Amino acid sequence: IVLSVLMSLFCVRLHKYRLFRFLSRLTLTFNMYVLLYTILAGLAILPLFLYLRNPYFTQELRYTVTCILLGLRINRIKRSKPFYSMLDCFLDKVKKHPNKQFIVFEKSSYTYRDVDKQSNKLARALSQHASVKEGDTVALFMGNEPMYVFIWLALAKLGCTAALLNYNIRSKSLLHCFTCCGTNVLLAASGKSSPLTLVLPFTISCRLVVRASRIQQASDQPLDAQLRSKVTLKSPALYIYTSGTTGLPKAAVITQERLYMASSMQAISGVASDDVIYIYLPLYHTAGFMMGLTGAIERGNTVVLRRKFSASNFWDDCRKHKVTVIQYIGEIMRYLCNSPKKDNDRHHKVRLALGNGLRADTWSEFLQRFGDIRVCECYGATEGNVGFINYIGKVGAIGKEHFLHKANFSYVLIQYDTEREEPVKDSRGFCIKVPKGETGLLVAKITAQAPFSGYANNQQQTDRKKLRDVFVKGDLYFNSGDLLRIDHEGFVYFMDRIGDTFRWKGENVATTEVTEHLIMVECIEEANVYGVKIPGHEGRVGMATIKLKDDMEFDSKATLEHVKTSLPSYARPRFIRIQNSLAVTGTFKHMKVKLAEEGFNPAMMQDRLYYLEDSKGYIPMTQEMYHSISDGKIHL
């Protein structure tokens, strides 16, 4: 190019001569071709240049395009009149492919048309025989089965809000969950009726429907859309219960907008309409219902539904039904890796795993054993207003920062004092951002674009999740309660969970709720509950340090009977430590950090220590048992 320019200048000066006029035109033509080929060569090597600068360029580009297209579609939905709900999305799929399989369950199969008609029948039966109407809140107390989906769609067609109860909860927690969101009707599977006897005496004003009568006689024709005419973008679509940090479960308000946003996770992860997704996670959970079920509706794909997880049947189910997408929580992957190896471990069609809580070591082991499966790890809270997704697939990360994500969600990691259990403030009283590579508390600004809807009928606990005056006077942020780290490449890593909650077996365990049940045992005067880490396990297992009442001995049998009656299996303390007095802070809060660090190692303490053995109950803990648990010989 430089040579061509010099030749052109030389020819211009000698333009009066005919020969040089010819050379000038020739040089101009030559320059045009040189410029064209240079541009083409530049475009050809640009991807290589960008890749050398950013090895994740192709994934970043694909993710950017997907997010832009998804954002445009969601904006159209938000502006549409009348409001376009997830139910409308389902009805469109019924019109598009009525005979396509939607739900495969055990020996039964239901097409999109079948599910639509069944939900029409249920909606009419509930409306006519249970007086369910628009604006009602209806509680679902059942396990994974097609009827769960039929009922939810039926409620949506009537303009109702569904409260998804955890069918493992009992007694006080069950009563609280049933009443806290203003439930009008309870729908329960026939096999789940026994726990309801604890609730019914206190809920006389509510209606219990165990089996909706005359369902089969009801018409399966479409219902009038006017039955749900008052439903808007901000209307509550669901109540999903989360332990949070308060003890009793809180009903997180899932608006229609939030439901659609969460359901787009499959689209972001690259799930297509011809995929078959395997759902065994409970439908009362965000992962099973929104990322799984309604995500499948948004994509228009097929769902293979299972009552609960089974490691021995997992891959057989995947092969039988030609599953291409699986969901997981971290524990699930570990269970699969710990199952006996088989020659056909890699013989399946699974190409994508979508979930959260996967440890780096289990991640690598899973890929090595079960083949080239793209793992899409993500992060988010049921009630939260920010999330991350590891669209790159880097082992160990829960997500990666992206400029579009930053533009729409204002989040930051701030310094947090784990001993005082509060954010660190500067001299002006504002929070302090942590530099790249350091651990901090994730907070996200509450805006119209990133709202926080809070908890149903619980303003106090809603306010507890908000941080005010974080960086300037008057600003408002959502407190995630999670400690994260963002490295210099923008990858996000989960470090720990703060407050009075820990996660075990894929469930949030509120320490205050467990404490309340423990102190109801006759011999226990005071209890401090926390989670301790177990080598090779995700999350933390429950442990309690207790103080006995004067002149009383530890009654292991009574303690076992009470926790079995009152708490689900994942919330029962696996270890119990007995002390003469429990240490507290200056504000009379139980000190947990040191106890959690000491864990369940008998060599680290002089106190009596008990272990919950499944068949024997609480038995004295020995050093040999500690080593067996740490080495994985005793499975928890």
- pTM, whole model, 2 decimals? 0.80
Q: What is the pLDDT of residues 548-604, one digit of tens each?
A: 998 899 999 999 999 998 898 899 999 999 999 888 754 456 788 889 889 999 998
In the predicted model, what is the mean pLDDT of residues 462-470?
Answer: 94
Q: Which of 187, 99, 103, 177 is nearest to 145 (CA)?
A: 103
Bigger pLDDT: 43 or 250?
A: 250
Q: Can you read off the two tokens belonging to residue 233?
A: 């973008």
Let me know how long the chain is: 636
Q: Tell me, what's the pLDDT at 312?
A: 92
Q: Does the structure show a pLDDT above 90 at 155?
A: yes
Q: What is the pLDDT of residues 211-224, one digit of tens each?
A: 545 777 889 999 99
Distance CA 343, CA 80 (A): 52
* Segment among 15-19, 300-304, 415-419 with least mean pLDDT: 15-19
Q: Does the structure show a pLDDT above 80 at 67?
A: yes
Q: Which of 326, 116, 81 is nearest to 221 (CA)?
A: 116
Q: Does the structure show a pLDDT above 80 at 250?
A: yes
In the predicted model, what is the mean pLDDT of residues 48-75?
Answer: 83
Distance CA 325, CA 116 (A): 24
Q: Does the structure show a pLDDT above 90 at 78?
A: no
CA angle 607, 612, 613 (to 5 degrees): 130
Q: Which of 409, 476, 478 is nearest to 401 (CA)?
A: 409
Distance CA 516, CA 562 (A): 11
**Cβ-based burial of 556 (10 A; exposed 0-12, middle 13-18, buried ≥19):** middle
**Which phi-psi region, left, alpha or beta, contains residue 329 (left: φ > 0; alpha: ψ -120 to 50)?**
beta
Q: What is the pLDDT of residues 496-545, one digit of tens each?
A: 778 667 888 878 787 878 888 898 899 998 899 999 998 888 888 999 99
Can the peptide bond before residue 82 be classed as cis, meaning omega within 30 degrees of 0? yes
Q: Does the structure show a pLDDT above 50 at 341?
A: yes
Q: Does the structure show a pLDDT above 70 at 321?
A: yes
* Segment among 63-67, 255-259, 274-278, 508-512 with least mean pLDDT: 508-512
pLDDT level of residue 476 (50, 70, 90 thresholds): very high
* Segment among 47-51, 61-65, 431-435 with least mean pLDDT: 47-51
* Segment among 140-154, 211-225, 370-384, 523-537 with least mean pLDDT: 211-225
Q: Does the structure show a pLDDT above 60 at 325?
A: yes
Q: Does the structure show a pLDDT above 80 at 130?
A: no
For the beta carbon of residue 372, count every other beta carbon within 10 angstroms: 8
Per the CB < 8 A criterion, the answer to whether 535 and 632 are in contact is yes
Q: Which of 46-50, 208-212, 627-631 has the highest mean pLDDT?
A: 627-631
Distance CA 172, CA 170 (A): 6
Q: Tell me, what's the pLDDT at 145?
A: 94
Per the CB < 8 A criterion, the answer to whether 495 and 484 are in contact is yes
Residue matched to tokens 């009443």: 179
Please state the φ and ψ torsions of residue 34, each to the nearest 5 degrees.
Answer: -60, -45
**Which phi-psi region, left, alpha or beta, contains residue 257 (left: φ > 0; alpha: ψ -120 to 50)?**
alpha
Q: Which of 165-169, 479-483, 574-578, 602-606 has the highest mean pLDDT?
A: 574-578
CA angle 285, 288, 292 (to 5 degrees): 145
Per the CB < 8 A criterion, the answer to whether 351 and 373 are in contact is yes
